[in-house]
Amino acid sequence: MRKASRPARDAPPTGDAYDAAVRYLGSRPRSVLEIKRHLRTKRFDEAAQDKAIDQLRAQRYIDDEAFARYWIEQRLRFRPKADRALISELMQKGVARETIDLVIGEADPNAELERARSAIRRPMTRWLEMPDPERKRKIHQYLAGRGFGYDVIEEVIAHPEAEEI
């Protein structure tokens, strides 16, 4: 039985850059830079990449501000991280710093503290039986690994649960 052969590495791309970008957007929203990188790996030339991105922008399929909001919302829901970790992730995805600052600036000032509390909610059940010093060390390591600052970590250690008013 004969195997289907792969195209050579230097072969020109098959299909349209726009179609490849739309397929790439199928799983989740993407930043402009992510799409550009994807199209580059598919070996589309610069003009085809720009044309596809312009079409996607015109149809509002891509928007870095909307992508940043989506990314932060998903992080809040599934894997809470500190603002500086979110900023780092979004910058790696190619979102401009001004856009990131705008989106993060819209959040509640106490949002980072609430994210830290929600981040430890699940592992805290494993740490309840530990002696206080060891539990505090675990909380500190866990939150520091997710980019939270010392002041936020100390507040969470002092009051792991938010006070009900």
Averaged pLDDT of the chain:
87
Rounded Cα distance between 21 and 64, Å, is 15
Res. 6: pLDDT tops 60: no
Backbone angles phi, psi at 139, to 5 degrees: -60, -45
Q: Look at residue 13 and tell me whether its pLDDT is greater than 70.
A: no
| Tokens matching residue 44 | 């589309």
* Per-residue confidence (pLDDT) for residue 164, from 0 to 100: 41
**Each residue's pLDDT tens digit, 105-119:** 887 778 888 889 989
Q: Is residue 13 exposed (0-12), middle (13-18) or buried (19+ Cβ within 10 Å)?
A: middle
CB 139 within 8 A of CB 127: yes
